[in-house]
Amino acid sequence: MATLKEKRTCGQRCEDFGRFIWNSENGTFMGRTPEKWVYISLYYVAFYVVMTGLFSLAVWVLMYTLNPYTPDYQDRLKSPGVMVWPDTYGEEDVTISYNTSDKASWMGMSKILHEFLEPYNDTKQLHCNPYDCTMGKYFIQKSFSAPNHTKWACAFNQSMLGACSGIEDPTFGYNCTMPCVIIKMNRIIDFLPTNSSSAPPYVNCTILSGQENVDKIEYFPTNGTMDPSYFPYYGKLAQPTYVNPLVAVRFSLVGKKQAKVQCRVVSEKISYENIHDPYEGKVIFYLKAVK
């Protein structure tokens, strides 16, 4: 009893510790004989070598099976989203509102469109996308026949937007009451909008409210068609020079000069009634011109 309760002095504890480090009686170092230390070290070395090997093998297998040209995890998105330019987003909706008598106001709108169309510059497209595409059918490419192991992409130039190209009228109609908007559909890798290329997707804009304020709707290119030769898209690495086909829409505003518009890309495989994604297959915006 007494020995158990007996408090050990500091010197004794140090002595115990010293014996633990090197016990000359049993010849152990930190509780193990040098021979046992060698064995246990070898064991751990072998263990970590095997673990590292397994890990490297797993990484290598993963890298080997990844195809750099297509993402392995495409998001659930099956139907593309649609956007409108000028992309002037208000609280919730897109509101394209401008003042025809305030130069700064309409210049702001045309500036957005000029910047947006920069990649579509005629000379730039001629240079980047020299391939002579066959319009009217899907441009399926099995091989990488373009320079630097890439695939060709079809040119889409500003001129194809006619009166809304910003070339003849650099204001895009914003200095008066005939504003142009540009509709773009997001890219989806390997997506074909229709089962056959005979009925290509086209943009159809309808006036949801203020019908009496819109006299005329014009589409550029003709009929608002997105030519099938721009599909499918093969990805950024395979088609570095790809540009989305665009459709410009010109509204002739009259009367109160305001309307709520829905522009939809119409196609067999593009849905537009997804309540969870209001931008799927269509875009809704307010158009308003003031004086």
Q: Round to the nearest angstrom and report the end-to-end CA distance of the chain.
A: 104
Tell me if 102 contacts ligand NAG by CB under 6 A.
yes
- # binding residues, ligand NAG (CB under 6 A): 30
Among 26, 134, 223, 274, binds ligand NAG (CB under 6 A): 223
- Compute the least distance from the CB of residue 268 to ligand NAG, in Å: 5
Among 225, 252, 258, 271, binds ligand NAG (CB under 6 A): 225
DSSP string covering the chain, please?
A: -HHHHSPPPHHHHHHHHHHHHEETTTTEETTB-HHHHHHHHHHHHHHHHHHHHHHHHHHHHHHHH--TTS-SS--S--S-BEEEES--B-SSSEEEEEETT-HHHHHHHHHHHHHHTGGG-HHHHHHH------TTS-----S--BTTTB-------GGGGGGGSSSS-TTTTTTTT--EEEEEEPP-BT--SSSSTTS--EEEEEEEE-GGGEEEEEEESGGGB--GGG--B--TTT-TT----EEEEEEEE-TT-EEEEEEEEE-TT-----TT-TTBSEEEEEEEEE-
Residue 28 or 122 having the CB closest to ligand NAG? 122
Tell me if 121 contacts ligand NAG by CB under 6 A.
yes
Residue 271 contacts residue 79 (beta carbons within 8 Å): yes
Among 28, 95, 99, 197, binds ligand NAG (CB under 6 A): 99
Among 79, 110, 129, 175, binds ligand NAG (CB under 6 A): 175
Tell me if 204 contacts ligand NAG by CB under 6 A.
yes
- Compute the least distance from the CB of residue 225 to ligand NAG, in Å: 6
Residues 134-173 that bind ligand NAG (CB under 6 A): 147-148, 155, 157-160, 167, 169-171
- Compute the least distance from the CB of residue 174 to ligand NAG, in Å: 8
Residue 23 or 159 having the CB closest to ligand NAG? 159
The region of 59-67, 82-90, 218-226, 273-281 touching ligand NAG under the rule CB under 6 A is 218-226
Among 41, 145, 222, 274, binds ligand NAG (CB under 6 A): 222
Among 9, 24, 65, 123, binds ligand NAG (CB under 6 A): 123
- Of 165, 88, 159, residue with least CA distance to 126: 159
Residue 30 or 104 having the CB closest to ligand NAG? 104
Which residues are at the interface with ligand NAG (CB under 6 A)? 99, 101-102, 121-123, 126, 147-148, 155, 157-160, 167, 169-171, 175-176, 195, 204, 206, 222-223, 225, 266, 268-269, 290
